[in-house]
Amino acid sequence: MKGLLILSLLAPVTLSAQSALDGTWRTDPQSFQIVGTEKFSLQDGVYRCDSCYPKIDVKADGQDQKVSGSPYFDTVSVRAINDHSIEIVNKKNGKVVGTSKVTASEDSKELTNEFTFVAESGQGGAGKYGSTRVGAPPTAASKISGEWQPGPLQSATENMVVTIYKVSGEGLSMSDLNGDSYSAKFDGKDYPFKGDPGATTVALKKIDANTVEETYKLDGKVVTVNRITVAPDGKTLSFIFEDKLRHMTYKSVARKQ
């Protein structure tokens, strides 16, 4: 009897949660958290990024260096602006798809990363975040070198923070301002994911009345898992985004518009 009572109470919540997910959501940049650290260095004219995927190890001479293994870019150029700042440019098929200006503070304890990107659709975006040094800085290297704990986004363009969901009885559709989209059922099967070269399919699973899990794959390999949870009041939802390639987790909170 007690079990039947609990089930009867949960039934309307399930319907409410599904309808509550439907709509446009805007992520608060200040809610953005990263579980994991970034590790890179510039020393003896060579730039290395151990937390990147794929890992980067190129001459920092400002020239395009070939890089394999990324669906987003095929060359990277790194230029030292001074002893505490560098500029990174990523290209794909000769076109700029991303830039990053990384600047360390004079005491080398804080770091600022100002970045831009161009989505597959041609839509451009930009953002900025700060990081705090973890451990001691390496000797005889640029001040940007070492291990860093990223903080929340200090700024972000709208196409970085807006997501649109439409719930049906059997599944869910998603779209964003960059042209990424999918339409899939809650059956755990792979469905086409459009717009992002870093993923080819997505599979959906309902974890509970308020939670949906997205599993993204690239050519059959799991690359990211995103857990979406709608708050009981239906006004906010949380994202827990696991990057399986970089071994980092990103958390954020979005508000219904």
pLDDT tens across the length of the chain (257 residues)? 333 333 333 333 343 445 789 999 999 999 999 999 999 999 999 999 999 999 999 999 999 999 999 999 999 999 999 999 999 999 999 999 999 999 999 999 999 999 999 999 999 999 999 999 999 999 989 999 999 999 999 999 999 999 999 998 789 999 999 999 999 999 999 999 999 999 999 999 999 989 999 999 999 999 999 999 999 999 999 999 999 999 999 999 999 99
For residue 94, what pLDDT is reported? Answer: 98
In a domain, 10, yes or no: no
Contact 187, 166 (CB under 8 A): no
Are 25 and 37 contained in the same domain? no
Residue 173 lies in a domain: yes
3-state secondary structure of 256: strand
Q: Is residue 9 assigned to a domain?
A: no
Residue indicated by tokens 């070939």? 66
Answer yes or no: do 186 and 241 share one domain.
yes
- Token digits for 146? 């070492």
Domain count across the chain: 2
Q: What is the pLDDT of residue 18?
A: 52
- The predicted structure's pLDDT at residue 1: 38
Residues 137 and 230 in one domain: no
Rounded Cα–Cα distance for residues 132 and 226 (Å): 26
Q: Specify whether 224 is located in the same domain as 113.
A: no
pLDDT at residue 193, rounded to an integer: 98
Q: Using an 8 Å Cβ cutoff, are 54 and 73 in contact? A: no
| Max Cα–Cα distance, the chain, nearest Å | 73
- Give the pLDDT confidence score for residue 7 in this predicted structure: 32
110 & 177 share domain: no
Among 132, 158, 184, which residue terminates a domain? 158
109 in the same domain as 69: yes
Please state, in angstroms and as integers, the Cα–Cα distance from residue 6 to each residue in 12, 21, 172, 208, following that order.
11, 23, 26, 14
Q: Is residue 242 part of a domain?
A: yes
pTM: 0.90
Chosen domain end from 158, 181, 208:
158
| Residue 217 contacts residue 207 (beta carbons within 8 Å) | no
> DSSP states of 66-83 as a string?
E--S-SS-SEEEEEEEET
Report the distance separating Cα 221 and Cα 231, nearest Å.
31
For residues 186 and 203, give the distance between their C-alpha atoms in angstroms, rounded to a whole number. 8
**Cβ-contact 54, 65 below 8 angstroms:** no
Pair (188, 89) in one structural domain: no
136 in the same domain as 59:
yes
Q: 114 and 176: one domain?
A: no
- In this prediction, residue 95 carries a pLDDT of 98
Could you tell me if 219 and 120 lie in one domain? Answer: no
Which CATH number do you get for residue 250? 2.40.128.20
Q: What is the pLDDT of residue 5?
A: 32
Are 147 and 182 found together in one domain? no
CB atoms within 10 A of CB 12: 10
In a domain, 14, yes or no: no
For residue 11, is it within any domain? no
- Asked whether residue 231 is assigned to any structural domain, the reply reads yes
Structure confidence at residue 20 (pLDDT): 86
In a domain, residue 251? The reply is yes
Question: Mapping DSSP to helix (H, G, I), strand (E, B) and coil, where does residue 74 land?
Answer: coil
Task: State the pLDDT at residue 209.
Answer: 86
Q: How much is the pLDDT for 226?
A: 98
Residue 238, number of CB atoms within 10 A of its CB: 17
Q: Before 54, cis peptide (omega within 30)?
A: yes
Whole domain around residue 24: which residue ranges? 19-30+162-256
* Whether residues 52 and 143 fall in one domain: yes
| Domain C-terminal end among 158, 188, 222 | 158
DSSP letters, 136-200, are PPPTTS-TT-EEEEEEEEEEE-HHHHEEEEEE-SSEEEEEETTS-EEEEETTS--EEEES-TT-S
Phi and psi at 194, nearest 5°, equal: -110, 145
